[in-house]
Amino acid sequence: MTKRRNDRKVRQDGQLLVAEKDVDGARLTEKKYQRELRRLHGELVAMQEWVKSTGAKVCILFEGRDTAGKGGTIKAITERVSPRVFRVVALPAPTDRERSQMYIQRYLPHLPAAGEVVVFDRSWYNRAGVERVMGYCTDEQADQFLRATPEVERAIVDSGVILLKYWLEVSPDEQTRRLQNRIDDPRKVWKLSGLDLKSYSRWYDYSRARDEMFHATDTSWAPWYTANTDDKKRGRLNIISHLLASVPYQPLPHQDVTLPKRQKPDGYTQPDLPVRHVPTPF
Pairing of strands 57-64, 161-169: parallel
In a domain, 238, yes or no: no
* Domain count for the chain: 1
Q: What is the CATH number of the domain that holds 113?
A: 3.40.50.300
- Predicted local confidence at residue 175, as pLDDT: 93
Mutual angle of helices 203-217 and 139-158, in 10-degree steps: 40
In a domain, 108, yes or no: yes
Q: Please give the residue range of the domain that contains residue 183.
A: 55-224
**Rounded Cα distance, 139 and 133, in Å:** 9
In a domain, 257, yes or no: no
Q: Which residues of the chain have pLDDT under 70?
A: 1-27
**Rounded Cα distance, 262 and 141, in Å:** 64
**Rounded Cα distance, 172 and 19, in Å:** 29
**Rounded Cα distance, 232 and 238, in Å:** 10
**Rounded Cα distance, 30 and 44, in Å:** 20
- The model's pTM is 0.86
Burial class (CB within 10 angstroms; exposed 0-12, middle 13-18, buried 19+) of 28: buried
> Rounded to a whole number, what is the largest CA-CA distance in the chain?
77
In a domain, 47, yes or no: no
- Predicted local confidence at residue 189, as pLDDT: 83
- Predicted local confidence at residue 25, as pLDDT: 57
**Rounded Cα distance, 128 and 134, in Å:** 11
In a domain, 193, yes or no: yes
Count of CA atoms in the C-beta half-sphere (13 A) of 107: 24
- Predicted local confidence at residue 9, as pLDDT: 42
